[in-house]
Amino acid sequence: MVSLAHYKPITASERGVAISDHKLTDFTAEEVWQLIDNYRWLVFKDNPISEAEVKDFLHQFGPLTENNRRKGTVLNIDGSKADEGEVLLGEGFLPLHRDGALMGTNVLLVGIFCAEYKNITVGGRTFITDAENALKEVPQEYLDILRERGIEGKPVDSYYLKSADEWHPIPGFIDIDGKSYLNIGFPSPKGEKPSWLMRIPGISDDRFDEIFTTMTSVLMDEKYCYYHEWEEGDLLLFDNRKVLHGREAYRGERRALANIQVLAA
């Protein structure tokens, strides 16, 4: 039994919590769920546990994603496909997204564990945003467009299991316990190679740019968005339904993260 009362939120919107006085496995599954429910994401620092321990702990919440992109239940995000021009498994920028949207899976929780982080000279932070509160600053007309039309995504990286030859419809929002949460992947910034393309059906390019320039500046503001500087052994754990996340492009010697997903029942 660990006291949860002394943890304080990271963002001004009161989401995210950093935990350096305990490791994940000091908590019960119920305690971790309570923290996730309150804060949406947890940052474990200074008390590394093994990748196997992370997997065993997360398995308490449901089945873990397994597919032929993974080694068992782990996706190694280690820059190994940078030479093949891949973004996700390379070193590129990943805009805000919800895991599983382009894979057609409903992912409840995501754990990202830092196995190696050596001499990264530029970028490399993972970011997580409190989209729920940030949306209060987004013009209602933009949200209405996303709700009515949804988005369409098209894979560019060969990583995704869906066809790269067609646009795949994705609902703009998902509903959880009577509340709705943004469900979309954002477009890549101009000048960055995309991992996926996206559009809003029936909306012009100019209007699309206007909507996403505004949404990006609000959702990536530090009032709502936490930028994580990795150290080996760190673990990020977040509610993949209620936040959006992404990562900066990076350059340097070696950055190896392990992504583990808990599927919704």
Which residues contact Fe ion by CB under 5 A? 99
Residue closer to Fe ion, measured from CB, 23 or 40: 40
User: At closest approach, how far in Å is the CB of 164 from Fe ion?
Assistant: 18
User: At closest approach, how far in Å is the CB of 186 from Fe ion?
Assistant: 12
Instruction: Say if residues 243 and 129 touch (Cβ distance below 8 Å).
Output: yes
Residue closer to Fe ion, measured from CB, 145 or 259: 259
User: At closest approach, how far in Å is the CB of 126 from Fe ion?
Assistant: 9
The residue whose two tokens read 């947890």 is 42
User: At closest approach, how far in Å is the CB of 97 from Fe ion?
Assistant: 6
User: At closest approach, how far in Å is the CB of 261 from Fe ion?
Assistant: 9
Instruction: Say if residues 118 and 253 touch (Cβ distance below 8 Å).
Output: yes
Instruction: Write the DSSP string, 19-82.
Output: E-SS-GGGS-HHHHHHHHHHHSEEEE-SS---HHHHHHHHGGGSPBP--TTSBTTBEEESSTTG
Residue closer to Fe ion, measured from CB, 99 or 130: 99
Beta-bridge partners for 77: 257
State which residue has the least CB distance to Fe ion: 99
User: At closest approach, how far in Å is the CB of 190 from Fe ion?
Assistant: 21
User: Which of 16, 192, 156, 188 lies closest to 84 in space, CA to CA?
Assistant: 156
User: At closest approach, how far in Å is the CB of 47 from Fe ion?
Assistant: 24
Residue closer to Fe ion, measured from CB, 145 or 219: 219
> What is d(CA 52, CA 166) in angstroms, rounded to the nearest whole number?
37
Instruction: Say if residues 112 and 76 touch (Cβ distance below 8 Å).
Output: no
Neighbours of 157 (CB within 10 A): 21
Residue closer to Fe ion, measured from CB, 49 or 103: 103
User: Which of 86, 218, 61 lies closest to 139 in space, CA to CA?
Assistant: 218
Instruction: Say if residues 253 and 76 touch (Cβ distance below 8 Å).
Output: no
Instruction: Say if residues 211 and 145 touch (Cβ distance below 8 Å).
Output: yes
Angle at 240 between CA 21 and CA 229, to 5 degrees: 45
Residue closer to Fe ion, measured from CB, 86 or 99: 99
Residue closer to Fe ion, measured from CB, 145 or 237: 237
